[in-house]
Each structure stands twice: as structure tokens, then as C-alpha cells.
Amino acid sequence: MQYAAIKEQVQTLAKDKPVTLVCVSKYRTVEEIRAVYAQGQRDFGENKVQDLIAKAAVLPQDIRWHLLGHLQTNKVKAVIDKTTLIHSLDSLHLAQEIQKQAERKNLIVKCLVQVNSTGIPDRYGVDYKDVNGFITAVSDMPNIELCGMMGMAPQGEDPTPYFEALHRAYTESPLNGKILSMGMSGDFKQAIACGSTMVRIGRIIFE
């Protein structure tokens, strides 16, 4: 288990600016998560609502659970009071459902706008050209707090141009200065070099 080494690497690369490490625990058992928790980690990320809820129910209450995967509207109600941050706000339809359910539960739900940074049409996320309009529309929803942006680089390509494009969209948006969630096991170094403030790392922590 490489947690301590990865944590240190992230801190070293981040230098003086804070970069939050989210430990992506999808596919991992409760025991594996406990081992990382015991070393001080409190931010964990899951892709699926069912897994997040099941793990949150049995693990310590001070864990902050990040939802990373695509969120279906019919699962919004179950998850909004269990997650600290939804990284995958990718449509107005989803935003409207979060707003509706959050209002009923009297919650403010924190979300990142997921940007389709790969440019691949069938991927989830808001297109670059629509990002600022999307932010404006969601800003009118009182029970959603937009906390930043999230994006990914496509597998098997140099990630740097993709991260630079994401960073530019972020700095040119009203979310500049908030969270920029980018970087995974294979590309977190490049992501931090391009201005990431939150990395989502799974595989290399546990192998």
C-alpha cells in the first residue's frame, strides 16, 4: 500500500499551494479503506451511489465522501445528504433535480461542473463553449453551491494539453479560485503542474 508515498509526492509537487488528495476507493473493500483512513486520510471518492452509501454506513462518520461518477437523477435523493462534493454535475436536468431534492431536505449541495475536456462527443460533461452559460444558470439555484470544475484527460494521450485547456476554462470562469479537480493515478503530476487543486487517485495508492 503506497498511501504515504503518494501523499508525500502530491505535497511535494504542490509546493506551497494546497492540493487536496481524494483517495478513490471504488473497487476497494471496507478493510482496505480502513487501512488508508488509519494513516490520516479523510477524503474518499466513489463512482457509484450504491457503493458510496454502503461504505459510508459502516465506515467512520468523519470521512468526507466525494461522488465522482455520472449521477442519474433517480439516485439524487439518496445521495445528496451523504456526499461532501459531487464532482459530476454534467447537465441542467441533473442540476434541477439536485435543486429540487436539496430544497426538500433543506440542504446546500456542493457540486463541481464536470467539463467534457476530452472533446469526445459521447463523454459526460458540459462542452467548453457552454460552461459559462451553465454556471450562470446553476447560480440561480439556491440549494446548489458551485465549488469549481472537474475534468479528465483521455487515456493514452499526453494529458498536458487537456489539463491546460481545463485550467484556462477555469481561470476564465466565475469559478476561478475555487476547486479545479483534475489528475488521476496516471497523470496527477502533469495535472498539478497545470494548476490542479484536487487530485483523485485510486489505483496507485492500493497497489
Ligand X SMILES: *Cc1c(COP(=O)(O)O)cnc(C)c1O
Q: How far is CA 92 from the centre of its chain?
A: 18
- Note whether 26 binds ligand X by CB under 6 A: yes
**Nearest to ligand X of 99, 181 (CB atom):** 181
User: Which one of 23, 68, 89, 112 is in contact with ligand X (CB under 6 A)?
Assistant: 68
- Note whether 196 binds ligand X by CB under 6 A: no
- Note whether 70 binds ligand X by CB under 6 A: no
- Note whether 185 binds ligand X by CB under 6 A: yes
**Nearest to ligand X of 30, 137 (CB atom):** 30
- Note whether 86 binds ligand X by CB under 6 A: no
Total length of the chain = 207
- Note whether 151 binds ligand X by CB under 6 A: no
Q: Where are the alpha helices (DSSP H) in the chain?
A: 3-14, 30-37, 49-58, 76-79, 92-104, 131-139, 160-171, 188-193, 203-206
- Report the 10 Å Cβ neighbour count for 93: 9
- Note whether 184 binds ligand X by CB under 6 A: yes
Minimum distance of ligand X from residue 60's CB (angstroms): 22
- Note whether 201 binds ligand X by CB under 6 A: yes
| Exposure class string for 111-150: b at 16+ Cβ within 10 A, else e | bbbbbbbbeeeebbbbebeebbebbeebeebebbebbbbb
Number of residues that bind ligand X (CB under 6 A): 12
- Note whether 48 binds ligand X by CB under 6 A: no
Positions in the binding site for ligand X (CB under 6 A): 24, 26, 47, 68-69, 184-186, 200-203
